[in-house]
Amino acid sequence: MDYVKLINCMRCGMCLPACPTYKETFLETASPRGRVALVRKVQEGQLDQSERLLEYLSLCLDCQACASACPCGVNAGELVAEFTCERKSESGLGFMEDLILRKLVPHPDRLEASMAPMRAYQRTGLQKLVRKLGILKMFPKQLERMEGLLPDLPARPLRQEIREVTPAVGTERGTVGFFLGCVMSLIFSDASRATIQLLSALGYKVITPKNQVCCGAPNMLGGDLEGLKEAARTNVDLFGGHEVDFIVTDCGGCGAELKKYGHHLEGDVPATEFSSKVRDISQVLALHAEELFPLLKPLDLRVTYHDPCHIAHCQGIRKEPRDLLKLIPGLQYTELNEADACCGSAGTYNIERPEMSDRILKRKLDNIRASGAQVLVTSNPGCLLQLKKGLAEHLPQVRIMHLTELLAMSMQL
């Protein structure tokens, strides 16, 4: 860990109002400033790595709202993630971690096969029966939460359906590589299908290499730095074999990770070039707002936007999604209060820290209710899962959509 990054904190406290866990607890140990101080003390040998310390640090969502607020460029979330990742990598992968991070996640075919029982569980009506009878109450709470987050799965993962090359509609303006995130393909396939259609409608030939693998974000989360590097190498080599103007993704979490491949592979030239080409879909669509506008049909809807942390804080993208929504004729855009505050999803945080996750989600839902929106738009699968469940339980009148789904709806694709 780079010690200089720790000592840059001048303890001004400007990050405190941005931190979701501090806003819920008002505890210094649950604040960015406190977390930086704890990690610094360990690095200086003044504090042991006790269970209590790790417990404090694990309350951090790694949402990086503190980085957006800090005048000194300190990124407490990233420092905590780096610290815990280094500790985990020192202790090596356990049996289950090895099984998930090495044997399952990097293999799209296995990942897809692993979802087949869930699809059968939903399609046979077993899910409805299990929920009605409350059978999951007999199992560990974590299992019940995971099951509750699962929305209706598509009949097939998108990776199995789409062609490797989708031609441009009309005159071809360029070629893009499409990075199809695992969760987008397995669960939110309609949104990624819409993304490809939009790019094609705007004149891009879209190449979606079928052998691409997970971006590596789960490996980073699990402290598996070797697995992360392997994922980066595979994707860099694969996309490097195609001449593309941009590498586009509609998954905020994947985009944030792909943009760090140059760093993960320690300045490797093809990896750095790969990262420089990565764009969130909103960035590419916003480039073509003038051509997009005549294709959009009116939508009489009140809409608001939730900024995914991986898009707003990690990639600094805030304006483009809003500009695109405001292009749709008839659409009434309402700004969401605390729009860039985390929704409490944060990878597996909503499973591992359910109590804090629920408190953060409640605050988000209260803001959505106050906005009066009929549709909530966002662009990250973790947020979609978390907010879909929250809305279904507390605000069923509000529909959630990915940005590209709403744009495709307006274009009547």
Indicate the residue among 278 and 356 with the shorter CB distance to ligand SF4. Answer: 356
Q: Which of residues 31-50 bind ligand SF4 (CB under 6 A)?
A: 32-33, 35-36
For position 18 contacting ligand SF4 by CB under 6 A, the verdict is: yes
Point out which span in 6-14, 254-262, 269-277, 285-293 binds ligand SF4 (CB under 6 A).
6-14
In this chain, which of 7, 10, 113, 129 binds ligand SF4, going by CB under 6 A? 10
In this chain, which of 14, 409, 411, 413 binds ligand SF4, going by CB under 6 A? 14
**3 state DSSP class of 402:** strand
Shortest Cβ 99–ligand SF4 spacing (Å): 29
Shortest Cβ 42–ligand SF4 spacing (Å): 16
DSSP 315: T
Q: Which of residues 61-120 bind ligand SF4 (CB under 6 A)?
A: 61-66, 69-70, 72, 74, 76-77
Indicate the residue among 65 and 183 with the shorter CB distance to ligand SF4. Answer: 65
DSSP 401: E
CB under 8 Å to 132, separation ≥6 — which residues? none
Q: What is the dihedral of CA 292, 294, 300, 302, to 10 degrees?
A: 30
> Which residue from 96, 382, 78 is spatially nearest to 222, judged by alpha carbons?
96
d(CA 312, CA 157): 28
Task: For the beta carbon of residue 117, count every other beta carbon within 10 angstroms.
Answer: 9
Shortest Cβ 84–ligand SF4 spacing (Å): 11
Report yes or no: 379 and 408 within 8 Å, Cβ to Cβ: no
Indicate the residue among 16 and 411 with the shorter CB distance to ligand SF4. Answer: 16
Number of residues assigned to the chain: 413
Indicate the residue among 68 and 114 with the shorter CB distance to ligand SF4. Answer: 68
For position 364 contacting ligand SF4 by CB under 6 A, the verdict is: no
Indicate the residue among 197 and 350 with the shorter CB distance to ligand SF4. Answer: 350
- # residues contacting ligand SF4 (CB under 6 A): 28
Indicate the residue among 66 and 327 with the shorter CB distance to ligand SF4. Answer: 66
d(CA 345, CA 390): 11
d(CA 293, CA 297): 9
205: which strand partners?
Answer: 175
d(CA 33, CA 12): 8
Shortest Cβ 310–ligand SF4 spacing (Å): 12
For position 210 contacting ligand SF4 by CB under 6 A, the verdict is: no
175: which strand partners?
Answer: 205
Point out which span in 16-24, 90-98, 103-111, 270-278 binds ligand SF4 (CB under 6 A).
16-24
Report yes or no: 302 and 376 within 8 Å, Cβ to Cβ: no
If residue 6 lies in a helix (H) or strand (E), which one and from where to where?
helix 3-7
Point out which span in 11-19, 146-154, 166-174, 231-239 binds ligand SF4 (CB under 6 A).
11-19
Q: Which chain residues interact with ligand SF4 by CB under 6 A? A: 9-15, 18-21, 32-33, 35-36, 60-66, 69-70, 72, 74, 76-77
